[in-house]
Structure 1
Amino acid sequence: MASPEDYAWTQRGHAPYFCVSMLRGITADELLDRLAAQERGGPMTLPEAVERSFAVESSSGTALSAARTLDEGWTLWVEPNGFAAAWAGALSAGSRLVVIEENPKGGGNFCWYEDGELKLRFEPAFACERDGSDPDSLYDEMERLGLEVVDSGDDYDIGPVHEAAYALMEHLTEVRLTPEHFAGTFVTGLVKLP
């Protein structure tokens, strides 16, 4: 059973990406096809993808996506400087998409899409404010992971919510992400932002 401590490594700069997602049953190349990604590239490492992402003209309305098919039947989708996954629920038709979107200024969203439907979305620091078609379906697991599922009124003692979001992703995917998952090579492409 996953715990926030299993993902302490995500706070040490090993996963400093704006958006990390997992999509079941679709390969990395299929994902980029469905996203109509332009200027396809790779294979490249994530540090190379991060460097390339910052070279993308911010006014272009696009951001770099990097994807890697995992042995576990999932595709790891990383957006170093984008957030398309948070609004890409249609990609989950016939599948499952789990998204951790982070805002470098704080905040962000955890999203779970199932067969094209948003089941759950919340900001990890404020897990008591949830929406989606089934916002309480993971209530017990969220509570076990230390997410604040009921407003305590104490906004200053929120615990390791970032790490808890990764543990919740593992609960939904049954894949424990490790630094090694981020260490391989990825295919890339520019994706239009919503």
Structure 2
Amino acid sequence: MSGHVRVLALLGRLRSGSHNRQLAEAAVEPALEGVGVTLNEALAEVSLSDADIDTDEQRPARPMSEAWARILAMTATAADYRWFGERFPDLAEAYCFTLVHNLPPSHLLGRLGGRTESSRTGTAATVDAAFDLLGRSDNARQFIAMTTVGDWTLLIEPNGCLGVGEEKALPASAGTRWISHFVDINGRDSFLWAEDTAKRLMFEPGLPDHRWGTTPDELLDAMHHSGFQFWDETSDTAEFLATEAAFALAEHLTGVRVTPELLRDTTFVCGSTEIG
């Protein structure tokens, strides 16, 4: 696989004329082939000195933890999610993970036309509940588990796919951002980025060369960095990490890092909705 290296430059001095900024900007254009340099100004949201905008009035600042979360999201790769299939094999076999911005679980469930189910702790319990509900409803209802992570609601469907289904996902994304990825037991997969009912990007993680939506190429650099295998980068020895890369790209878009502890220890708000 041909190399694709991404360099993230964090600007410690934010003033436009600072030597640090000039050096970082000078490194962008002459970067070697296969090397991308990205300037990141997430630290500008922390209360650091910036002579261009500092005034007598105190600037609002975000906590350092939020700024670092945004920075880490830009560096996430498939390697950060190798644990998923190893530690959660039953869920990894067939799942849909969806992140929805600024929409609490109860409102999200309402948009999906769902009804409330008993809460469950840990994804192992949600997998059992999902298959139990499928059996009791004659495969007519999908069990979903939700929790809030910062400004986002994480929705998990064991053995489900409504998060990437345009019929429900696009209308439900009205006024918000919707990031979803799915894989089923037959190896079919999909990634959806929607905003305010518009499909910005959709593709199959296993076939990232084929993309569609209103902005199909906007995330190409991030897709390379996340670890998707494009046709000109494949080889017989390359490791296939499409699922893991999908998690990394979702983190890039949302700043939300899914962790083993989150999946194991969270008590999820649960519901169900009709399939189809």
1:74 Cα offset (Å): 0.5
**RMSD between superposed Cα atoms in Å:** 2.0
> Out of 120, 128, 150, which is 1:51 matched to?
128
> Out of 84, 99, 114, which is 1:10 matched to?
84
Q: Given the alignment of the two structures, is residue 61 of structure 1 paired with residue 140 of structure 2, yes or no?
A: yes
Secondary structure of the structure 2 residue equivalent to 1:137: coil
Corresponding pairs, count = 192
Q: Quote the residue 1:104 is aligned against.
A: 185
Q: Which moved more, 1:159-168 or 1:7-16?
A: 7-16
Q: Is the 8 A contact 1:147 1:164 kept in 2?
A: yes
Q: Given the alignment of the two structures, is residue 185 of structure 1 paired with residue 267 of structure 2, yes or no?
A: yes
1:112 Cα offset (Å): 0.6
The share of aligned pairs that are identical, in percent, is 31
Normalised to the residue count of structure 2, the TM-score between the two structures is 0.64
Q: Which moved more, 1:153-162 or 1:134-143?
A: 153-162
Residues 93-131 of structure 1 show CA distances to partners (whole Å, capped at 9, x for unaligned) of 111111111112213101111111111111111000111
Code of the aligned partner of 1:3:
T
Secondary structure of the structure 1 residue equivalent to 2:118: strand
More helix by share: 2
Secondary structure of the structure 1 residue equivalent to 2:171: helix
| Structure 1, gaps ≥5 residues long | none
Code of the aligned partner of 1:94:
G
Normalised to the residue count of structure 1, the TM-score between the two structures is 0.89
More strand by share: 1
1:170 Cα offset (Å): 0.5
Q: Quote the residue 1:27 is aligned against.
A: 104
| Structure 2, gaps ≥5 residues long | 1-74
* Cα distance, 1:126–1:30 mapped onto 2, change above 3 Å: same
5 Å-filtered alignment, 1:133-148, equals: 133-148=214-229
Code of the aligned partner of 1:4:
A
Secondary structure of the structure 2 residue equivalent to 1:136: coil
> Rg: which structure is higher?
2
Q: Quote the residue 1:79 is aligned against.
A: 157
Q: Is the 8 A contact 1:107 1:124 kept in 2?
A: no
Greater relative contact order, per chain length (Cα 8 Å cut-off, separation 6+)? 1
